[in-house]
């Protein structure tokens, strides 16, 4: 009996301890996850319009390297990424045909020179006979004509030699400007034709971006207009640039007007071929009466009136407030607002069916 009483007393002590332990432990409140909400700020219709267009970066001067003669490449001094200076020998042809033509032209010149000398000697002989009365006037005129023909033939052969000598020089490819080899297309022992590209030289130091603009904005773009650029490879960074070329004609392939933008800041991280975005800020006529405008997606309707959800708060957390508004006509940028909103207020643009008045949300 005493043993049972002791066992019961010990059990009660353990239960009392566990009860006290649980009472002293505070329940942790579950973490509240706020719903992210997209929004825009109420602005004026007719304010600055920002448009962004995609393009590709390239150096301002790209030179396709090629020979002006036919032959087999015997020497190739080009490597991808190689820096070259103006006048550096980049490649050389065997020049077999050009050398054969040059040697042939030398032989033709020597033959023409020999004929010219013979014709001159004959002319001198006929002139002497004519002066002594031993030769007729017609013989003398024929000798003069033969000499003139021989002289003309010799002069022509000399020009031919000069041309064929120049043809040999066409078998040597020199760097036309200082730059970097961006592509090597041909190899040693390859037979190439005149004008066939064997490599590409990036000779410019500035970076340009080529984009296409639609007809709706092309008349707002002017040469030397200041713009902003950004690159996918350099997130979070923007660079100043200006418009350098605006095409007056539509590109039939893209149905846009080609525009070239040059970056004003030099940065070695920007490389030819990088994907780029160019941001334009177009200003419209300020004489137009200012009207508040909100996106059509931000306007809801219940049984009583049209409304928006205003987001009151700081940069991250806001409280939802349902606000009745009076709207005007629908414009390409949204509804004109007659009453109920002020400039700069934040309004939700998505998920209106699930938002509640007084709800806390996270601005996205």
The correct answer on CATH 2.170.8.10 for the domain covering 65-93+172-202 is no
**CATH domain 49-60+204-282 topology:** Elongation Factor Tu (Ef-tu); domain 3 (2.40.30)
Helices then strands, counting H and E runs in the chain, come out as 3, 24
User: Quick one: which H or E segment has residue 110?
Assistant: helix 96-132
**Tens-digit pLDDT profile for the chain (364 aa)?**
444 445 445 555 555 555 555 554 455 555 667 888 888 888 776 555 677 888 988 887 888 999 998 889 999 999 988 989 999 999 999 988 888 888 999 999 999 999 999 999 999 999 999 888 888 899 999 999 999 999 999 999 999 999 888 888 889 999 998 888 988 999 999 999 999 999 999 887 788 999 999 887 898 899 999 999 999 888 888 899 999 999 999 888 888 999 999 998 888 888 888 889 998 887 655 545 567 888 888 999 887 889 999 998 877 789 999 999 999 888 777 888 989 998 889 899 888 888 888 899 888 7
The CA distances from residue 80 to 77, 200, 266, 268, 275, in Å, are 10, 9, 22, 17, 21
Instruction: Break the chain into its structural domains and give their ranges.
Output: 37-46+288-363, 49-60+204-282, 65-93+172-202, 96-169
Place of tokens 């033959």: 111
Tell me which CATH code domain 37-46+288-363 carries. 2.40.420.20
pTM of the predicted structure, to 2 decimals? 0.48
CATH fold of the domain at 96-169 = Helix Hairpins (1.10.287)
The Cα angle at residue 236 between residues 61 and 211, in degrees rounded to 5: 35
292: which 2 tokens? Answer: 């508040």
Cβ burial 183-202 (10 Å sphere, 16+ → b, else e): ebebeeeeebeeeeebbbbb
């Amino acid at each position: 009996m005493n043993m049972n009483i002791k066992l019961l007393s010990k059990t009660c002590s353990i239960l009392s301890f566990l009860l006290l332990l649980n009472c002293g432990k505070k329940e942790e409140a579950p973490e509240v996850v706020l719903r992210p909400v997209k929004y825009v700020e109420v602005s004026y219709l007719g304010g600055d319009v920002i448009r962004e267009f995609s393009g590709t970066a390239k150096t301002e001067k790209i030179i396709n390297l090629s020979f002006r003669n036919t032959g087999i490449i015997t020497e190739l001094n080009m490597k991808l990424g190689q820096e070259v200076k103006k006048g550096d020998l980049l490649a050389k042809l065997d020049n077999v045909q050009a050398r054969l033509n040059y040697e042939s032209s030398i032989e033709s010149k020597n033959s023409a020179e020999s004929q010219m000398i013979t014709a001159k000697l004959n002319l001198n002989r006929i002139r002497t006979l004519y002066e002594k009365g031993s030769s007729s006037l017609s013989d003398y005129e024929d000798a003069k004509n033969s000499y003139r023909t021989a002289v003309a033939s010799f002069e022509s052969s000399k020009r031919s030699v000069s041309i064929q000598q120049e043809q040999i020089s066409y078998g040597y490819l020199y760097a036309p400007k200082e730059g970097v080899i961006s592509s090597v297309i041909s190899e040693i022992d390859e037979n190439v034709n005149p004008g066939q590209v064997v490599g590409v030289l990036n000779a410019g130091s500035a970076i340009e971006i080529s984009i296409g603009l639609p007809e709706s904005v092309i008349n707002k773009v002017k040469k030397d207009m200041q713009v902003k650029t950004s690159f996918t490879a350099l997130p979070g960074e923007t660079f100043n640039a200006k418009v350098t070329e605006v095409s007056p004609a539509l590109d039939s392939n893209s149905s846009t007007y080609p525009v070239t933008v040059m970056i004003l800041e030099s940065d070695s991280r920007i490389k030819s071929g990088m994907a780029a975005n160019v941001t334009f800020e177009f200003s419209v006529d300020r004489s137009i009466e200012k009207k508040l405008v909100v996106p059509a997606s931000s306007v809801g309707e219940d049984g009583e009136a049209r409304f928006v959800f205003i987001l009151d708060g700081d940069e991250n957390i806001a409280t939802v407030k349902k606000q009745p508004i009076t709207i005007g006509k629908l414009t390409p940028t949204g509804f004109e607002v007659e009453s109920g909103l002020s400039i700069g207020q934040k309004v939700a643009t998505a998920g209106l069916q699930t938002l509640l008045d007084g709800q806390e949300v996270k601005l996205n």
